[in-house]
């Protein structure tokens, strides 16, 4: 057995043992625990994606506002010169 396969099988066994211990403690089946873990992971990823999107939108809005202000200043200077 290769080193990678041994480590992988050891990690899987340790994870399964932990899940069994938690399932006994929480009185839930391992499949319920796995479903909860997946749901938690997905919700964290979605939350991170959402916050990242909001930050990007705020950055774009600020950039657009600053560009508009600069354009207005330039137009004001041009019109003031006439």
Where residue 29 falls (left for φ over 0; alpha for ψ -120 to 50; beta otherwise) is beta
Output the pLDDT for position 47. 76
Q: What does the alpha-carbon distance between residue 59 and residue 47 come to, in Å, rounded to a whole number?
A: 18
Residue environment code for 43-61, b if the CB has 16+ CB neighbours within 10 A, otherwise e: eeeeeeeeeeeeeeeeeee
Count of domains observed in the chain? 1
The predicted model scores a pTM of 0.39
Q: Which domain holds residue 69?
A: 3-81
Within the chain, which residues score under 70 in pLDDT?
1, 7, 11, 30, 82
Output the pLDDT for position 7. 66
Output the pLDDT for position 18. 76
Q: Are 19 and 34 in contact (CB under 8 A)?
A: yes
């Amino acid at each position: 057995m290769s080193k990678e396969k041994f480590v992988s099988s050891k990690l899987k066994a340790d994870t399964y043992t932990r899940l069994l211990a938690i399932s006994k403690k929480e009185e839930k089946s391992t499949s319920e625990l796995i479903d909860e873990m997946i749901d938690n992971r997905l919700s964290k990823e979605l939350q991170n994606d959402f916050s990242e999107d909001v930050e990007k939108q705020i950055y774009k809005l600020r950039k657009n506002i600053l560009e508009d202000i600069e354009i207005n200043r330039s137009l004001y200077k041009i019109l003031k010169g006439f």
